[in-house]
A and B are shown apart, each in its own frame.
Chain A
Amino acid sequence: MKRIIIIALFITSLVFTGCTDKREVDDLIIATAIALDLNEEGSLELSIQILNVHSVGNRPMDAAPVVVIAETGRTVQEVLRKISTIIPEKLFFSHFVLLVIGEELAREGILPYVTFFAINQDALHRFNIAVARGCKGKDVLKIVSVAAHVPSMSAEGKLLETSKYYGIGKYYTNDEVLSDIRSEGISLSLGSIQIIGDPEKGSDLENRKKTDLEAYTKASTIAVFKKDKLIDWMDEEESLGYNYISGKIKNSYIVVTKGDGTFASVQVMKVNSKTKPILENGKIKFKISISFLAEITEDLSGETSHDNAYVRDILERTNYEIRLLCEKAIQKAQTIKADIFGFGRLLYRKKYKLWLEIKDRFEEEIFPELETEIVVQGKITRVKP
């Protein structure tokens, strides 16, 4: 018996040496970013930014760190198979960090494509989805960057930092996007990225050798969707207001105008936001409470003060400015009838019976007329000398 087992083990060890499905690291064709666009004929155009493994690391900067290849087709799967005619190995998707959707395609609807990546096992990791504002996603992938060697890393970093430390952008992953599109009571909103300058010149490696860049990518404001279709853009103030209401800001700033007309900068940190639905006399109202910690970092009058009255005055002005930003954001969303704050979702979760009654007319009739109460209460913890 033992002999038979040993022989069987020996034979299997010869046949299967643990190399089934092996893929050598050097041979991997690593996709770092993907862009989805509509071409002139209205077909899907999928572009993939592929890492040039021979030019990353401590290697010369005169070779392109990435290559962008594109194909068109009717479905994502079809395009990916077509791409296999261009590249020698199977694409490795497990490390791509950014999915850029061209504005034109975003206006047509993104759900089918987002779903493909949500159920594709290679793409189950977290990656960011952003809209290419005013340009094609493919062009965004082509722009070479200076700060980060790989352009997709650079674009992803910009989106992340902008949402965390400025507040106009949004870092949103595939699962979150899919959830917002499919869930009741919320409209999708996404971060965006735009190209400043000439995209053609931006894709030239020479661009990186100049101190004044011909073209570069920049994280832009928030794109507002209805279901899965892009309908409008928020401006900087509205995007900031949106992020204050969402409580996503880790660190941002507010410029306040003091009584004497000079400006002061306040660094806002640890923003916390809570939204509560209130039912008053059969009318729905939402109370948004925002709290934060702040530091006075700059005063254009030339001097800062530790005086209580000075601090209180700046704080009140900061509270007012934040409230103003939030009101602008809500006003914009109400005008375009897109509940990006998820007020409907809150009703679904907390007042389910009421939600069943009003869900069909919520976004079109109730949300645009919705009353909100915004309470902003910050705390200034430091005045920088």
Chain B
Amino acid sequence: MEKKYISKWQFFTLIYAYILSHELTRGAYIYYYRHSSWIPILLAVPLSCLLFFIYSFIYKNSGSTDFKTAIEKVLGKFFAKIFFGIYFFYFLFIIILKLRDVGELVQIYIMQESSFLMIYGFYLFAAVYCAIKGIEVIARYSGIVFFITFTSFILFYILLFLVNEPDYGNLLPFMPDGFLHYVNPALKMAYSVPLGELFGMLVIFQHVRPEQKKKDFKTAYIGIASMGAMMLLISLTNIIFLEPEVLILGYTPIIRLWRRIDVEDFIQRLDIIVINILIMNLIIKTSVLLIATKAMADGIKETKKNKFLFYSVIAVIFIILLMLFVPDYTKLINLRYKVFIPYVKSVFEVFIPILIVIISFLRKKTSKPKKNNLNTTFSKLPPSSA
């Protein structure tokens, strides 16, 4: 029988994988902020935590541990269905963007001659398989990936410092254009790449083991903060080892950086390992978003019995959409940074969630809250489900 719940540690590793997968497309910010690109990340960490704190009120104010129920309690059944409908398409949209990134990454760095169809097919096969197996399996997988990622990063960064000479001068001048110049990118980074797009994780939060639920919001903040620290470290090492003018070549500077590791022509080409790590984390993010999509679809109409069919149909739709509508990656990159992040993701990751939270507060005020509502709901859940 499928296990529905995950531990707080597993939730932490999911957040870790979810955010780390954003490393793939972070280069565009570096183009504009070059040696100062670490500053907006530093500013984005508390903002991202704050945003997740705001999201948490959707559960807290509704007194429900189930996302569907929480939204229905806040918006009412009719508006909840509309909400699930638009977020269903929003999550699909994010997955399509991720798939296109993966296709580009694999075709440029690993399999130049392979068709996109084959790359998408294999990638989706892995992600859909994880999604069918359920959140608990994905969480266990992310636990393994977490250790692989963490160990690899420690080992290879040690090698990087041993083999290459860092130039700390690359970090200067400090904030040459003033502090305000970094506020806008910090906001964007907090709700989109690399520290955002976390509304999907809020949907996954319903699967966190109930008895630990109160603590697990803290786990999310710790997860975001530690991934922020990790992203900061990656940014700083990118800058001190790669010259600022070289940083901007390509969207994934970490790949160029890892290629710098060359121990006596013996240990080299570690970029392939970092690409594999990124893909492993991307599979986790995609399968998490697939589960979130399924949750949205369930919000509209229960599809529990056709899980395999649901994901298969979704996968085929993805491939058709990708092959038909997004062949031009340059156009997609431009759209992503000029339209999607400022106008689409801001709406779905910031404005709509904040609106729901405001409504939840208003509802809470108008209706008398029951004491220990949250605890009562937890106690209703069977202990075996954990």
Chain A residues near B (Cβ < 8 Å):
1, 4-5, 8, 12, 16, 20-21, 94, 118-119, 121, 124-126, 175-176, 178-179, 182-183, 346, 348-350, 352
Among A4, A124, A349, the residue within 8 A (CB) of B271 is A124
List 16 other contacts, CB 8 Å, given A5-B129, A118-B246, A179-B246. A1-B308, A4-B308, A12-B125, A119-B249, A124-B256, A125-B269, A126-B262, A178-B246, A178-B249, A179-B244, A182-B245, A183-B243, A346-B169, A349-B169, A350-B173, A352-B176
Indicate whether A16 sits within 8 Å of B176 (C-beta atoms), given known contacts A21-B111, A121-B108, A125-B268.
no
Complex A-B: 16 CB contacts under 8 Å = A1-B308, A20-B111, A21-B110, A94-B269, A124-B256, A124-B259, A125-B269, A126-B262, A175-B242, A176-B243, A178-B245, A178-B246, A183-B243, A348-B173, A349-B172, A352-B176
Among A16, A124, A125, A346, the residue within 8 A (CB) of B118 is A16
Taking the closest CB of chain A, its distance from the CB of B236, in whole angstroms, is: 16
Interface code B252-283, partner A: CB below 8 Å = 1, 0 otherwise? 00011001101000001101000000000000
Chain B positions within 8 Å of A125 at CB level: 259, 262, 268-269
Chain B positions within 8 Å of A179 at CB level: 243-246
Cβ–Cβ contact B262 & A21, under 8 A: no
Cβ–Cβ contact A183 & B169, under 8 A: no
Chain B residues near A (Cβ < 8 Å):
108-114, 118, 122, 125, 129, 169, 172-173, 176, 242-246, 249-250, 255-256, 259-260, 262, 268-269, 271, 308
Give the distance in Å from the alpha carbon of A350 to the alpha carbon of B170 in the complex: 11
Taking the closest CB of chain B, its distance from the CB of A250, in whole angstroms, is: 12
Top-5 shortest CB links A-B: A179-B243, A349-B172, A352-B173, A182-B245, A175-B246
Cβ–Cβ contact A350 & B172, under 8 A: yes
Chain A positions within 8 Å of B112 at CB level: 21
Chain B positions within 8 Å of A349 at CB level: 169, 172-173
Chain B positions within 8 Å of A119 at CB level: 249-250
Cβ–Cβ contact A175 & B243, under 8 A: yes
Cβ–Cβ contact B114 & A20, under 8 A: yes
Give the distance in Å from the alpha carbon of A118 to the alpha carbon of B172 in the complex: 24
Taking the closest CB of chain B, its distance from the CB of A204, in whole angstroms, is: 30
Cβ–Cβ contact B173 & A20, under 8 A: no
Which residue in chain B gives the minimum CB-CB distance to A126? B262
Taking the closest CB of chain A, its distance from the CB of B166, in whole angstroms, is: 14
Give the distance in Å from the alpha carbon of A106 to the alpha carbon of B111 in the complex: 34
Which residue in chain B gives the minimum CB-CB distance to A350? B172
Which residue in chain B gives the minimum CB-CB distance to A349? B172
Cβ–Cβ contact B113 & A21, under 8 A: yes
Give the distance in Å from the alpha carbon of A124 to the alpha carbon of B260 in the complex: 9
**Interface-centre pick from B109, B125, B243, B271 (highest chain A CB count, 10 A):** B243
Cβ–Cβ contact B244 & A118, under 8 A: no
- Count of inter-chain pairs, beta carbons less than 8 A: 61
Give the distance in Å from the alpha carbon of A290 to the alpha carbon of B249 in the complex: 35
**Interface-centre pick from A8, A124, A183 (highest chain B CB count, 10 A):** A124
Taking the closest CB of chain A, its distance from the CB of B24, in whole angstroms, is: 15
Taking the closest CB of chain A, its distance from the CB of B311, in whole angstroms, is: 12
Taking the closest CB of chain A, its distance from the CB of B171, in whole angstroms, is: 9
Give the distance in Å from the alpha carbon of A179 to the alpha carbon of B176 in the complex: 19
Cβ–Cβ contact B118 & A20, under 8 A: yes
Chain B positions within 8 Å of A94 at CB level: 269
Taking the closest CB of chain B, its distance from the CB of A169, in whole angstroms, is: 18
Chain A positions within 8 Å of B250 at CB level: 119
Taking the closest CB of chain A, its distance from the CB of B20, in whole angstroms, is: 21
Taking the closest CB of chain A, its distance from the CB of B126, in whole angstroms, is: 11
Give the distance in Å from the alpha carbon of A113 to the alpha carbon of B260 in the complex: 21
Chain A positions within 8 Å of B255 at CB level: 124
Chain A positions within 8 Å of B125 at CB level: 8, 12
Chain B positions within 8 Å of A182 at CB level: 245
Which residue in chain B gives the minimum CB-CB distance to A124? B259
Which residue in chain A gives the minimum CB-CB distance to B111? A21
Chain A positions within 8 Å of B110 at CB level: 21
Taking the closest CB of chain B, its distance from the CB of A173, in whole angstroms, is: 9
Which residue in chain A gives the minimum CB-CB distance to B246? A175
**Interface-centre pick from A5, A20, A350 (highest chain B CB count, 10 A):** A20
Give the distance in Å from the alpha carbon of A183 to the alpha carbon of B246 in the complex: 10
Among B113, B242, B245, B308, the residue within 8 A (CB) of A20 is B113
Give the distance in Å from the alpha carbon of A124 to the alpha carbon of B110 in the complex: 13
Taking the closest CB of chain B, its distance from the CB of A248, in whole angstroms, is: 11
Which residue in chain A gives the minimum CB-CB distance to B248? A182
Which residue in chain B gives the minimum CB-CB distance to A356? B176
Taking the closest CB of chain A, its distance from the CB of B303, in whole angstroms, is: 15
Chain B positions within 8 Å of A350 at CB level: 172-173
Taking the closest CB of chain B, its distance from the CB of A18, in whole angstroms, is: 11
Give the distance in Å from the alpha carbon of A350 to the alpha carbon of B110 in the complex: 41
Chain B positions within 8 Å of A8 at CB level: 125
Give the distance in Å from the alpha carbon of A350 to the alpha carbon of B169 in the complex: 9
Which residue in chain A gives the minimum CB-CB distance to B308? A1
Chain B positions within 8 Å of A16 at CB level: 118, 122
Taking the closest CB of chain A, its distance from the CB of B197, in whole angstroms, is: 27
Which residue in chain B gives the minimum CB-CB distance to A346? B169
Taking the closest CB of chain A, its distance from the CB of B177, in whole angstroms, is: 10
Chain B positions within 8 Å of A4 at CB level: 308
Taking the closest CB of chain B, its distance from the CB of A176, in whole angstroms, is: 7
Chain A positions within 8 Å of B271 at CB level: 124
Give the distance in Å from the alpha carbon of A125 to the alpha carbon of B244 in the complex: 18
Chain A positions within 8 Å of B242 at CB level: 175
Give the distance in Å from the alpha carbon of A21 to the alpha carbon of B109 in the complex: 12
Give the distance in Å from the alpha carbon of A94 to the alpha carbon of B118 in the complex: 25
Give the distance in Å from the alpha carbon of A8 to the alpha carbon of B243 in the complex: 47
Chain A positions within 8 Å of B122 at CB level: 12, 16
Cβ–Cβ contact A118 & B249, under 8 A: yes
Chain A positions within 8 Å of B108 at CB level: 121
Taking the closest CB of chain A, its distance from the CB of B257, in whole angstroms, is: 10
Chain A positions within 8 Å of B259 at CB level: 124-125
Taking the closest CB of chain A, its distance from the CB of B266, in whole angstroms, is: 13
Give the distance in Å from the alpha carbon of A352 to the alpha carbon of B35 in the complex: 14
Taking the closest CB of chain A, its distance from the CB of B256, in whole angstroms, is: 6
Taking the closest CB of chain A, its distance from the CB of B254, in whole angstroms, is: 12
Which residue in chain B gives the minimum CB-CB distance to A355? B173
